[in-house]
Amino acid sequence: MQHSAEEPINYVAYRRRAQNRGQEGAPLEAQEEELRLISQELHDDLGQRVAFLQIQIDQLEHRCESRDIVNGLRTLRESVGEMDRDIHRICYRLYPVILDQIGLTVALEALCREFSKYSGIRTTFINENPPKHVAKNVSLCLYRLVQEALHNVSKHSGARRATVTLRNSTSALEVVVEDSGSGFDPDALDAKRGLGLASMEQRVLRIGGRYDIRSRPGSGTAVQAVLPRWH
């Protein structure tokens, strides 16, 4: 059953749940920090190498007089450019630096746009009463949830459309990821897919939020998270 972000939140209960899960969350936080460092190293090291390779190709192209070799260099430059975009995309998936730079709302909008482009699934981002400030742990939790939910949409649902909705109230932030796909029986999940859903739930619960997933065969899927604003 769907909950609303407007429902009153028992902050004492949620704080207690979050504290109880603090020890569980430590490995998750360490993993996020490791992913951030890997992302930064890939971006700084491989990104610079690829940029230098592009410069070298440009220099060779200007010096070369053979039309066949010039055409080959242009093809090579296009391949290197594609490699550069892949590196940036991998870095972004490892750790969304955009969250630290421009915030949750714009990051989710960019994620939906990128997902639409590469999956072919038309994904609409709905932003209701955008929050002015969101704590870093809440932003990262919601972003990872949407990222994982969209991955599941692409891999399992067969949907042609999806919607990501961010709702902001005085007491909570709510995000809902819905698709029009085949749906599934939550009680009959395979181990791999169930692990992804469990990971999303763990992220939400450990910072005191509510998590819900609604689906049935033939009726699409909706993943919902509601997080209190005391962070």
In this structure, the chain runs to a length of 231
CB burial of residue 108 (10 Å; 0-12, 13-18, 19+): buried
Reduced to 3 states, what is the DSSP secondary structure of residue 228? strand
Q: Is the pTM of this model over 0.85?
A: no
Which pairs from 111-119 meet CB under 8 Å and 24+ separation?
Answer: 111/143, 111/146, 111/147, 111/150, 111/164, 112/150, 112/164, 114/89, 115/150, 115/154, 115/162, 119/150, 119/153, 119/154
Structure tokens at 44: 């700084």
Asked if the model's pLDDT at residue 94 lies above 60, the reply is: yes
Q: With 50 as the cut, is the pLDDT of residue 13 above it?
A: no
Is there a contact between 149 and 112 (Cβ–Cβ < 8 Å)? no
Q: How far apart are CA 66 and CA 41, in angstroms?
A: 38
Closest CA to 141 of 225, 217, 60: 225
Which position has the token pair 């949750």? 104
Residue 122 pLDDT > 90, yes or no?
yes
Backbone CA torsion sign across 116, 178, 176, 207: negative
Question: What was the pLDDT predicted at 189?
Answer: 66
| Neighbouring C-beta atoms of residue 227, cutoff 10 Å | 28
Q: Three-class SS of residue 124?
A: strand
Residue type for 59, please? Q
CA dihedral angle for residue 55, residue 56, residue 58, residue 64, rounded to 10 degrees: 170
In degrees, rounded to 5, the angle at the alpha carbon of residue 103 between the alpha carbons of residues 101 and 104 is 140
Q: Which among 210, 142, 152 is positioned nearest to 178, based on CA atoms?
A: 152
pLDDT 10s digits, 19-56: 444 444 456 666 666 766 676 677 677 778 888 888 88
- Share of residues in the chain with pLDDT > 90 (%): 20
Rounded Cα gap, residues 145 and 142, in angstroms: 5
Average pLDDT (77-88) is 83
Q: How far apart are CA 174 and CA 215, in angstroms?
A: 18
